[in-house]
Amino acid sequence: MSRCCAAVCVFSALIHAAGLTPLDPPEACLGVGCSRKYRAAAETHEYDFKTWMSQHRKRYDGIAEYRHRLQIFTQNQRRIRLHNAGDHTFKMGLSPFTDLTFGEFKKSYLLREPQNCSATAGNHLVGSGPYPDSVDWRKRGNYVTPVKNQGNCGSCWTFSTTGCLESATAITRGKLLLLSEQQLIDCAQAFNNHGCDGGLPSQAFEYIRYNTGIMTEEDYPYKGVYDEKAMVDAVARLNPVSLGFEVTSDFMHYKEGVYTSSVCKNTTETVNHAVLAVGYGVEEEGGTPYWIVKNSWGPTWGMDGYFLIERGRNMCGLAACCSYPLV
């Protein structure tokens, strides 16, 4: 075996230790021993890929597209295994998006342009407390609708809006209704929303508030929340709260645990996704405080469509872009 091939195979062994195996053998390593290992690794990756395709009902147009998606899948699978081998507060896993690059994912599932939340002033009146150590509106009664799926459209802001309003209405009026995201996509453009290209729940609440014939100002006044203590107060006393934050590439692979990031920003200018905080709590091991959040990427992503994100540090700007209606 050549010195070059031996070096590559040693490197390959280190990669295998973390469960990270390249899809194709490098040109420098064509010996029988090395190529056999790489072929076995490639077969394993392809088996995983086909299993994943069956689970998520994926189909591709032609062998070239299939090989391209297999390569992206393998790269993402490597990243997931490397992350899970480290010391992190959350786990990654295969998701419906594992065959996409982050650029493709952003284009299809996040807001097309980052939304600036700073234009709407917060006016939430904080109660006197004390507050429970944990809150989960899913366990308090029939107050949260099932996880929905926004599909290939940057309309997360509409799902955050309807989810918040659905819960607020159920809490105050005792009836859980499924509200229309499509109406917001079609009709709320005058309030600086852009359908599948993005928008904000706070601006959608303004549309609902002023749109004659659907919601009146008296029925649905808007309140903004702009710090996490006020968010705790709102979720504990009133109802789930809509929030926006910045999604970075590791979040698309989230599986479980308390999500934290040193990459995302905590400002109002970089928000690219909107979701619904339905509760909060504290980890039994480690004591990390977190939010319980409902997403709009279907129930096969994350924790049955939900995720946990660290509370108390304005993680990824979540406290800078929160809102809810009073019903």
b (16+ CB within 10 A) / e for 242-262: bbbbbbbebbbbbbebbbbbe
CA dist 183 → 82, 294, 311 (Å): 42, 21, 32
**β partners of residue 256:** 91
Of 258, 265, 222, 262, nearest in space to 242 by CA: 222
Listing DSSP states for 292-307 in one string gives EEE-SB-TTSTBTTEE
Of 97, 136, 90, 327, nearest in space to 223 by CA: 327
Q: Characterize the bridge pairing of strands 135-136 and 273-282.
A: antiparallel
Sign of the alpha-carbon torsion through 189, 192, 197, 202: negative
CA dist 96 → 73, 163, 301 (Å): 11, 22, 7
**β partners of residue 276:** 242, 294
Phi, psi of 133 (to 5 degrees): -65, -30
By annotation, the residues acting in catalysis are 156, 273, 295
Q: How far apart are CA 206 and CA 234, in angstroms?
A: 19
Sign of the alpha-carbon torsion through 170, 172, 174, 180: negative
Residue 173 has, within 13 A of its CA and on its CB side, a CA count of 13
